[in-house]
Structure 1
Amino acid sequence: MAIKVNLDVLMAQKKKGLTELAKEVDITLANLSILKNNKAKAVRFSTLESICKALDCQPGDILIYEDEEDNDE
C-alpha cells in the first residue's frame, strides 16, 4: 500500500490513547485500531477531519505517500 497512516506516531506525540481518541472522534475502538494499524482501505473525510481536530494536526500529518517501488528494494 502506497498510503501509510501515521496515526500511532501522532497519538504518541500528543499523548492520546486509543480509547480517548475514539471517544473524541466518535468512532469505534475497533475501527480506529484498524486505521491506526494501516489495515484500513478507506477513511471518510469527516473522520479524518475529526481526528485532525482532536490531535490539532493537518491531514498530511496523518496520511503519508510512499512509493511502492521504494519498498521493493
Structure 2
Amino acid sequence: MSIIINIDVMLARRKMSLTELSEKVGITMSNLSILKTGKAKAIRVETLDAICKALNCQPGDVLEYSSGEAEV
C-alpha cells in the first residue's frame, strides 16, 4: 500500500502507550493495532481527528504517502 501509518512513531514522540491512545480516542486496541500495522483498508476522518487531538499532531504526521518507487 502507498499510504504509511506512522502511529507508532507519534506514540514514541509523545511517550504514549497504545493503551493510553486507545482510551483517549475511544477505539479498541485491536482496531488501533490494525491501523498501526498498516492492515487497515480505510480510516474515518472522525477517527483521524481523534488521533490527532490525542497526539497533538497534524494528519500529515500520522499519514505518509510513498510511491513505492526508488528515489533517484
User: Mind listing any 5+ residue stretches in structure 1 that lack a counterpart?
Assistant: none
**Other-structure match for 1:29:** 29
**Under a length normalisation based on structure 1, what TM-score does the superposition of the two structures give?**
0.92
Paired residue type of 2:56: D
**Under a length normalisation based on structure 2, what TM-score does the superposition of the two structures give?**
0.94
User: Mind listing any 5+ residue stretches in structure 2 that lack a counterpart?
Assistant: none
Give the stretch that moved more between structures: 61-70 or 9-18: 61-70
Q: Which has the higher helix share?
A: 1
Name the SS of the counterpart of 1:68 in structure 2: coil
State the identity %.
57
Runs of 4+ in 1 over 4 A off after TM superposition: none
